[in-house]
Each structure stands twice: as C-alpha cells, then as structure tokens.
Structure 1
Amino acid sequence: MKELIFKLFKSKLFYFVIIILLGITGYYGYYKIFKNQSTKYILAKATEGDLEIKVSGSGEIIPIEEINIKSKVSGEVVSLNVKEGDLVYKGQLLAKIDSKNLEKAISDQEILIKNLELAIESAKLSLEKLNFQYQNTLRGDDYKKALNQGILVLNELYNFYPNFIEDLNKIYFNKDLDNRDNNLKYYESYSIIFAGKSYKLEKNYSNIKNYYLQLSENFKILQNTDEYKEKIIKDSYNLVLATYELVNEGKEMIRYLKEDLVLKNAAHEKQDIIEDHYQKLTNYLNILGQYKQNLLDIVSKINSYHDIIDNYEFDKRSLELSIKQKETDLEQAKKKLNDLKEDLNDYYILAPFSGILSTLNIKKGDLISSSQIIGTIVTNQKIAKISLNEIDAVQVKVGQPAILTFDALPGLKIKGKVIEISAVSKQEQGVVSYDIKISLEEENKEIKLGMSVEAEIIVDKKENVLIVPNSAIKRDKDGRYVEIVKNYDINEKLLNKPVKIPQNLIEKRYIKTGLSNDEYTEILEGIQEGEIIIVKTLEPQSRQTIQNRQTNPLMPIPFGPRRQ
C-alpha cells in the first residue's frame, strides 16, 4: 500500500490532476466572489449646440506684393465704383454684379418662411383645441346631455307611434276605393311605374311594425346605463328613417294619381277619401321628419363623442408629426435663406487688401464669368500659405473663415479668410496636396515672415442643432442607434461619471444623423433634446479578467482583483 502511494506521488499524472483541480477551483471561486459586480455606464444628455466642421493644415507666413481680384459669380456688372490707379482700402466695394434673380429667390424664401411659421402656429392651435376638446369630451357632460335629450324624444316618439301605425294600416290596407283591392293596390294600378310597389310597402310595413313593437318593449324596461340608452336611441333613429321612407313612398303614389286627375281635368268619385289619405300622410311625414332631425342631431353628438375619444391619439399624433415636419421644413428654409444671403455677398466684389488698383479689366455692362480676373491690387501685406490634402482641399471655398495659431506665439489667435485656392496640385511621396492662401483680418507686428502657422478652416457650420457625442452612436445591421435611459432622473453632477442603470430602463433607439465632426454628431430624427443617452459602457473588472483567463483555465487565479 505504501509503495502504491509512493509511486502515485512520484507520478507526473498526479501533479497534472492536482493542477487542473486547483485551476478549476480557483476559477469558480473567483467568479463566485465577483459575479455580482454590475456594469456601469457613462451618461450624457442630448443637447442643442453649434456644430462646426473644420479642416486644418500647416504652413508659413509669406509676403504678398500683388493679388488678382476674381469674381465668384457670373453675371452683368451693374456698378463700378473704382478706376484703374485708384488707392483702395480693405473691404471697399469695387464692383457689383446683377443679383436680381437671387434677390427674388431671397424674397420668395422669406415668404415661404413666414407661411411656414403661420402654418406651425395654426397647427399648434389645432393641437391645443384638440386637447381641450378631448378633456371636455372625456368628462362626458355633452354625451350624457345628448343621451337624456334622446330619451325625452323617445318618450314622445313612442307615445305617437301606436295611433300612427294603426292609422297607416287603415290608409294602406283598407278597401276604401275598391271592394276588390286594398288602397295601396288601387293606387298602384294607376301607373306601371308603381308595379310591385304595394307588395314591397306591405312587407316593409310588417317589418317596421314588428321592429317598433320590439323597441317599444325595450324602451319600457329602459336600463339606466349609457350603453343601453345609446343603443335604443340609435335603433329608434333607424326605425324613424325606415318609417319615413314607408310613408313617403305611399304619398308619392297618391300624388301621382292627384296630378293625373288634374292633367285630365277630371274628378274622382271618391276624391274626398283620396285627399284625406294624402293630407294624413303629409302630416305624418312632417312629424316623422321632425323626429328624424331631432334624433339625427342627438346621434351626431353621440358619434362625435366616440370619434373624439377613439381618434384622439391618432389625431394628436398626426398633428404632432405635422408640426414636427413643418418645423423641420422651417429650419431647412431658414438655412437655405442664410445660404442665399451668403451667396448674395458674392455679387459684391470687395478689395481683399489695401493697396493700388494697378489694373482694371472690366467696365459697367460687361458680362463676366465666375473666377474671371477683374483686376490686380499691388500691396505689401502678409498672408498665411498652408497645404491641405486633396480630400480636405475640395471642401474649402474662397471666403470661408479660418483661425490661425503660431508655434512661436503661444496664445495668439488671428482670424483670417480664404482668399485663394491653388488650381494646381503638388505631389510629395504619393500625397496630393493644394496650397491655400489665407488673409489676416488684423495686423500684428509680432507676426514675422517665415513663421510657421497652423490654420483651422471652418468649411461647414450648423447652429442650434441637436447633438450627441460620437461615442454614444453605435451601428448594427439595421442602422445607427443610441441607447436611451428611459424615465431616469439623474443629477447633473453625475453626468459623465460611472453609474449603475437597471437594464429594463435602457432602450435601443434608431436615429437619423446629419453633420458630424471629431467630437459630436447632429441628430435629425430619433431622440429629443434632454433625453439621457449612454456614452460609454464599463464592464466590471472581474468579468474582463475571467473572459481573458477563459483561454487558459490552468493559469493560477488569485482570490482578489489584481492591481493595475
């Protein structure tokens, strides 16, 4: 036995088994200790802000002695304010290009904006009216009032019906005019157009009478519930409609006979009976017509009540979407107006620097083209010349603003404006680039020729748009989305700090994005300002450690988190 134990201790298999057992025990012990550590999240709010798209490049400060003045647009020169050899100043108006079409487009756009603002105001008033109407309707005052009015009308109706229905039976089915046929068949015989009419009316009379008897019994045992009252009012309205039609068709048959006798200048031997039938049916039609109108008003109020209640959410959502769409249209219209106004500046040719207008190549009335050189200014100014790669260069336009900084002058920032984009590229080590020249909007004696300069050119900008950090945006097969934290009131101080969030409060929301830069992205659809979004997910350290060690379960695992 001792020899067996001794051999076992000396066996490599023994130590291998021990190592496996220790590894498994350590793994599950470590997992059990730390498995309850929860995921934390960094949160932020969707906010409104300005979004700028910039491209940047580096270069140097160079002197400029002569600069060509170019037109940015095509058109007719309508005014020329200088002549060759004049001393001109920076920003001075040199010439103006005809801008009537653009000015009309601006006027039309301003009218469109005004109409959109009025449409939004009208839609908001409609939404307020809908909400007010819904709250009033929800109380049910008008609904209950309509039901009570309906019951009063039915009281009168069912008091009127017994005598009426019996009298109608006599008018239609007695044999007052002929011993062989009833009155209906007699009236029917006077014209082929009434063929089969007596049979139809007789059948309808029977159905209406049975319907009346059934409803009158129901009315006697009237239940004090809104649903029961509503049903008997609507059923009684249908009874009146059918009865009105029954009486009117019989009256038409008699009217035809009366008119035929007049045309033939003849008198019927039982003219008094015919006149009596006709007058009674006319009177009944008038009474039934009044009941029909009264019940129609009441049924309309009942239906209106249900329509408002049933359609409220749909109507509200439709109005809200309409307002949102109009607000989007308004925002786009305002952006377009700003773009048009910015384009209008291109029709005014200004001096980029102070100096002498050494050449002037145009006169009033000339038609010029975009990028045409109209003259030359001789000056003694400093400008920045930077290099941009071809991808960034295509986004740059003459007139765009820039911010210039200098390595030699920390803290100094100078505003500038793009004045020239090289039409010819240069290539170094396979990289294609273009030279961009930028004017300095203010003179500074500390800026020396040859100084290195960094320039940020603002190539696009949106103001007061909904933005979120780029790290909040994720993507799957269905598109881009963010994770929203619903119904979660968070202290502003906890934003951008790790917090625990219950999983049932996290909602995946797909979005439509617009402009973006290195930090933020514009949100066009999907979320609202102020909603809480997840910017970053922090997995617990234990989970990350376990996931890393799952690839090698035989590694010893310490019972506690390792220091980083």
Structure 2
Amino acid sequence: MLQFLKKRKVILLILVVLIGGGVYWWVSAAQSKKTETHYVLGTVDKGTIITSVSGSGQILSSNEVSIKPKASGTVLSVPVKKGQTVKANDLLVQIDASDTYKTVRDAQISLTSAQLSLDKMKQAADPLSLLQAQNTLSQAQEARQKAGDDLLSSYDDGFNSVSTAFADLPSIMTGLNNILYGNSFSNSQINVDYYADNAANIDTSAYIYRDKAKQAYADARLAFDKNFSDYKATSRTADNNTISALISESYNTSKTMADAIKSANDLILFYEDKLTGKGMKPSTVADSQLTQLNSYTTKINSHISDLFSADQTIKNAQNTIVNDDRSIAEKTASLEKLQAGTDSLDLQAQELSVQQRVNALSDARQKLADYSVRAPFDGVLADVTVAKGDPASSGTAVATLISQQSLAQISLNEIDAAKIKVGQKATLTFDAITDLSLTGVVADIDTLGTVSQGVVSYNVKISLDTQDDRVKPGMTVSASIITDMKSDVLLVPSTAIKTQGSSSYVLVPDETVSGDISVSNGIILSKAPRQITVQTGLSDDTSTEITSGLAESQQIIVRTISSAASTSSTSGRSILQATGASGGNTRVPSAGSFGR
C-alpha cells in the first residue's frame, strides 16, 4: 500500500510538470507573435475601360419613336420628307449652330497653343537660348559691379559736397552772428534788439520776430558746432556709414541755418516795413544787412541742394545694388533651370492643361453634333413636323420614325438616366431566351420622368440591331448600355485607390522590388510605402483610370494583409524542453505502469 502511494506521488509530480510546461510554452509562443503587414503588389497597365448602366423592361408592341433634338435654334434645312426611308445616322434636321462653331474653333486654337507649349517644354534647351541666358547673367553681374563702383564714387562725391559746404558755412555763421548780435547802431545795444525796439514803437509784434530770430540762431549754432566738429574728425578715407551720416547731418545743419537766415531777414524786413509805413526812413545799415542775408540764402540753398542730391545718389546706388543682386539670383536660377531641363511638375501641369483642352474640344464638338438631328436607326419617317426657318427646341419632336426592328423599353433611375445619350450602344438579354444576346442603340429618352413613391424614373427606348423571330412583344429584357469607353489609358485595380478628403492617392513601394510580385499572400517591405496623389477618371467594377500621377509599369500596392507571425523558435520546442527537462533524464510512464 505504501509503495502504491509513492508511485501515485511520482505520477502526479510528472503530470504537474507536464501541465506547467505546456502553459509556459503556450504563453511564450503567444508573446513571441507580432503583427506583420504583407503588401500585395501590382503594376500600372494600359488598357480599355468601359462604363455602363443596366436596366430592365419589355419589348414594345409599337416600333414608333419620336425624334427630338438636343439643342434649340432655327431650322436651317430639312433634307428628308414624310414617308422617306432613312438609314441610321442619316441627317433629318439641321439647326443653326453658328455660335457653337465659334466655340469649337476657339477650343481647337486653345488646344493647339497648349500642345505647342508642351512640345516646347519637352525640347532640350537650344544652344542659342543657353547663350542668351548666360549673356543675360553676365550683363547682370557687370551691372552689379558698376553699381558697386558708382556707390563708392557717390561717397566720394558726397564728401566733396560736405567739404564745399564747410568752405562757406563758418563764414555764414559768423556773418549771421554779427548781423544779430553786433553793435552796428549802438555800443550799448545789439542789432536784434535795435530792430525790435524801433519797430515795437509802432507794432509790438516786432518782439515775436526778435525772439524767433534769436531761437533760430541758437538752433543753428548748436547744429553747426556739432556738425563742424564731426566734419573735422572725419577723413575722406572714413568708412561708408560714417561718410553717409556726415552727409545727412550736413544737409540737416544747412536747412537749420537757412531757417535762421530767414528769421533774421524777416525781422529786418518787418523793421523797414513799419518805419516806412509811418513815413520814417530806416537805417541804411538794414539795407546792407539784407543784401548780406540774401547772399547767405543763395549760398546755403545751393549747399542744401548739393547735399540732398549726394544723399539721394547714395541711397539710389544702394537700391540699385539690392535690385542687381536680386536680378543675378533670378538669372542664375533661370540659367540653372534651363540647363537642367523642364521640371517634371511643370511638365505634368502642362500635360494636364493639354488634356483639359482636349476635353473642352471634345465637349464643344459633341455640343456641335447636337445641332444635327440624325436618325438613331433604320426606319421610315411617319411624320416630319418642322420646315426650314421654323424654331426647334430641345425635347420637342421634329419627326416620327417607325423602326423596321423591334424596340425595347427599359426604366432607369434619374442618376443612371443622366448618363444616357441617343446613339449609345447596348447589349440586351432575355429571360425567356437564355441563349440569346442582341445588340442595339439608344433611340429615345423620356424628357420628363415618372414619379412613383418618391422615386423618379425615365423610360429609354433601344432599337435592336437585328431581328430574331423568337423575340416577341411584351417579353422581359435586360439591357446594359455603354455610357463611356476609353482605350489605351492607364489602369489600376480599384482596390489600390485610397481617398483622403477630396484627394485620391495610391501607395507605392519606396524601394526596388524584384522577382515575382504577383503572389497572392503579398510580400514584406523593408520600408514604409510612399503615398502618391493621383487624378482618376473612369471606373468600372474592377479597375480605375489614372489620368495623372503614375506611369505605365510602375509598381503599386493593390491591398495590404495584416497577419500574426511568430518570431521565436518556441513553437518548435517540445513540452519537456519548455519545462527545462531533458528527454534523456525523464521517463514518461507507460499506461501499464499506472496502478502498480
């Protein structure tokens, strides 16, 4: 009994070890898994894309169709008559399309111009254009050199103007001082007070003129003394900023001195005017000093003009240098662009411009075709309701055509009906005749829709191209109408197209992928894919047209697959290894050993 219990303990211990190892193995394997993204790749191919709309209806018992124009205008000609047999596409009524002809002409000219621009962009720069660009850059560089020389010369000329001014300014300042503060009339009274006191006996406003003259002189003296000190401290070889500042300071000083001269002149003139008005004779000294002041005015005005001109010449030269530097940068970039060739984005933009003009011309031609009312199928004209000179309007019948073939009528919702045009090709199948498929063309579209339970639908009549005796009036028919078709266009699987707001884009590998890229479970990329914005066109159930953004044979990502993949060898270990035990050291008891 004791031996049996010992065996039981050993067996239980082994079971605990096995269970613990299994749990460890499962947890370890689960933790070692990570999500991997596989990318299914494809290429951009050229092909044909067709879009269509489908509907169902019945074969009509009547094969009569009202012919309605798509455009309005005056009827120019009616080359058919009632009872006449016509073929499909025969002209029935011609409506005046003068304005539309002009639109087509302008669209053609616009397309030709855009195409010429595109062709020019694709051409490499010719030697003459390169030479002209190089010469233009050289001329700009020469102009910049000349502007630099002119600026240096303008500083020299400006310093000369300052020197010329200070040949006169000190004597002018001294003379002005003598006129105002000298004792020409009395040793006990300065001149400025003499003029004021004598004039004040008649008009006390004289003191205002006196005070103004004194203040103006004080301002001029202060400005002159500082300016003269700066002038003496500045040499011709000083830096440009110092010379420029000296020119500006001298200009302002000259203006301040001119104000002081004028104030002194105003005081003396006031004195003479008041005395003369009272019949008294002014002092002859006053006349002499007025003559002296007029001489100062002439000199100071000349210096003001020269200094202002010097200051402006420097500023203009500085602006010229700035503009020349910009011109050099612009012409350098222009030459580099010419040497590098047309930028790819500019080329794409111009190609898009050409395509837009192609579309505009196509639309204009389609609109022009609307003014020619043609027979949608073979038949006999049961009636012609317009004549030359009559007005014709869209949606109003101009003739009635009896088809020699059966007519099918299907119902389409308003969205699909908007895509349908007379003359579009259609394929028809029949529920009652499973092996029969016939072709036809759209013969008529309802002008007004029918509303049922809030849903608007339009009836579309399709003329069958061939007659089959098995097709009977009232039979149910399904029709697929081709609304658009493009050949030799770039196509990608629709699953590759992503949207972000109003933009569409595709993902492309940001690395070179070699080998078979068509594997259905995808491949792993070492780099994150790159996003490219695209313009899309037509789209069917599987493919989408790319009008810009991608090139033929370019690799794209069709779809992504996320999966959990093990990155550890844990799953390949035995349970015993997972627990740290060795198969050679642990014996698993056989079934017969239990119960011993």
Q: Same fold (TM over 0.5)?
A: yes
1:19 pairs with 2:38: no
In the alignment, which of 292, 296, 306 is matched to residue 311 of structure 2? 292
Who is 1:79 aligned against?
Answer: 77
Matches within 5 A, 1:101-250: 102-103=100-101, 136=137, 142-143=143-144, 145-158=146-159, 160-162=161-163, 164-165=165-166, 167-172=168-173, 174-175=175-176, 178-180=179-181, 216=234, 220=238, 232=240, 237=244, 240=247, 243-244=250-251, 246-247=253-254, 250=257
Q: Secondary structure at the match of 1:175?
A: helix
Q: Distance in 2 between matches of 1:341 and 1:296?
A: 61
Who is 2:68 aligned against?
Answer: 70
Who is 1:341 aligned against?
Answer: 365
Q: Distance in 2 between matches of 1:87 and 1:78?
A: 21
CA shift, 1:347, in A, is 1.9
Per the alignment, do residues 16 and 471 of structure 1 end up closer, same or farther by CA in structure 2, a change over 3 Å counting?
same
Q: Distance in 2 between matches of 1:337 and 1:244?
A: 68
1:10 pairs with 2:12: yes
CA shift, 1:301, in A, is 2.5
Q: Secondary structure at the match of 2:386?
A: coil
Who is 2:381 aligned against?
Answer: 357
Per the alignment, do residues 180 and 113 of structure 1 end up closer, same or farther by CA in structure 2, a change over 3 Å counting?
farther
Q: Secondary structure at the match of 1:297?
A: helix
1:420 pairs with 2:444: yes
Q: Secondary structure at the match of 2:27?
A: helix
CA shift, 1:243, in A, is 4.3
Q: Distance in 1 between matches of 2:38 and 2:324?
A: 50
Confirm or deny: 8 A CA contact 2:449 2:456 kept in the other structure: no
Give ranges in structure 2 of 5+ residues lacking alignment: 123-128, 183-189, 196-206, 277-283, 338-342, 574-596
Q: Secondary structure at the match of 2:382?
A: strand
Q: Secondary structure at the match of 2:398?
A: strand
Q: Distance in 2 between matches of 1:323 and 1:290?
A: 50
Q: Distance in 2 between matches of 1:500 and 1:359?
A: 70
Q: Distance in 2 between matches of 1:121 and 1:218?
A: 60
Supply the AA of the counterpart residue of 1:146.
A
Per the alignment, do residues 367 and 36 of structure 1 end up closer, same or farther by CA in structure 2, a change over 3 Å counting?
closer
Per the alignment, do residues 434 and 368 of structure 1 end up closer, same or farther by CA in structure 2, a change over 3 Å counting?
closer
Per the alignment, do residues 73 and 159 of structure 1 end up closer, same or farther by CA in structure 2, a change over 3 Å counting?
closer
Q: Distance in 2 between matches of 1:123 and 1:168?
A: 66
Who is 2:424 aligned against?
Answer: 401
Confirm or deny: 8 A CA contact 1:177 1:270 kept in the other structure: no
Per the alignment, do residues 27 and 121 of structure 1 end up closer, same or farther by CA in structure 2, a change over 3 Å counting?
closer
Confirm or deny: 8 A CA contact 2:445 2:458 kept in the other structure: yes
Please identify, of 294-303 and 107-116, the stretch whose mean Cα deviation from structure 2 is larger. 107-116
Who is 1:544 aligned against?
Answer: 564
CA shift, 1:348, in A, is 1.6
Who is 2:126 aligned against?
Answer: none
Per the alignment, do residues 163 and 368 of structure 1 end up closer, same or farther by CA in structure 2, a change over 3 Å counting?
closer
CA shift, 1:296, in A, is 3.1
Q: Distance in 1 between matches of 2:251 and 2:57?
A: 94
Q: Secondary structure at the match of 1:363?
A: coil
1:459 pairs with 2:483: yes
Q: Distance in 2 between matches of 1:395 and 1:353?
A: 21
CA shift, 1:281, in A, is 2.9
Who is 1:552 aligned against?
Answer: none
Who is 1:553 aligned against?
Answer: none
Please identify, of 341-350 and 76-85, the stretch whose mean Cα deviation from structure 2 is larger. 76-85
Supply the AA of the counterpart residue of 2:82.
E
Per the alignment, do residues 516 and 242 of structure 1 end up closer, same or farther by CA in structure 2, a change over 3 Å counting?
farther
Give ranges in structure 1 of 5+ residues lacking alignment: 223-231, 550-555, 560-564
Per the alignment, do residues 530 and 89 of structure 1 end up closer, same or farther by CA in structure 2, a change over 3 Å counting?
closer
Confirm or deny: 8 A CA contact 1:49 1:467 kept in the other structure: yes
Supply the AA of the counterpart residue of 1:93.
L
Supply the AA of the counterpart residue of 1:23.
W
Confirm or deny: 8 A CA contact 1:417 1:438 kept in the other structure: yes
Q: Distance in 1 between matches of 2:175 and 2:6?
A: 127
Per the alignment, do residues 534 and 379 of structure 1 end up closer, same or farther by CA in structure 2, a change over 3 Å counting?
closer
CA shift, 1:299, in A, is 0.9
Q: Distance in 1 between matches of 2:516 and 2:331?
A: 39
Supply the AA of the counterpart residue of 2:79.
N
Confirm or deny: 8 A CA contact 1:62 1:450 kept in the other structure: no
Confirm or deny: 8 A CA contact 1:55 1:458 kept in the other structure: yes
Q: Secondary structure at the match of 1:154?
A: helix
Matches within 5 A, 1:22-33: 22-27=25-30
Confirm or deny: 8 A CA contact 1:176 1:273 kept in the other structure: no
In the alignment, which of 280, 283, 287 is matched to residue 268 of structure 1? 287
Q: Distance in 2 between matches of 1:210 and 1:50?
A: 90
CA shift, 1:84, in A, is 1.9
CA shift, 1:20, in A, is 0.8
Q: Which entry has the higher C-alpha Rg, 1 or 2?
A: 2
Per the alignment, do residues 209 and 453 of structure 1 end up closer, same or farther by CA in structure 2, a change over 3 Å counting?
farther
Who is 1:535 aligned against?
Answer: 557
Q: Distance in 2 between matches of 1:195 and 1:522?
A: 90
Confirm or deny: 8 A CA contact 1:62 1:449 kept in the other structure: no
CA shift, 1:157, in A, is 3.3
Per the alignment, do residues 155 and 507 of structure 1 end up closer, same or farther by CA in structure 2, a change over 3 Å counting?
farther
Q: Secondary structure at the match of 2:376?
A: coil
Q: Distance in 1 between matches of 2:20 and 2:181?
A: 119
1:377 pairs with 2:401: yes
CA shift, 1:335, in A, is 3.3
Who is 1:470 aligned against?
Answer: 494
CA shift, 1:8, in A, is 5.5
**1:36-88 Cα shifts (integer Å, max 9, x gaps):** 9885562656x999875433568999998543322223444343222223343
Supply the AA of the counterpart residue of 2:19.
F
Confirm or deny: 8 A CA contact 1:390 1:434 kept in the other structure: yes
Who is 1:42 aligned against?
Answer: 41
Supply the AA of the counterpart residue of 1:300.
N
Confirm or deny: 8 A CA contact 1:97 1:348 kept in the other structure: yes
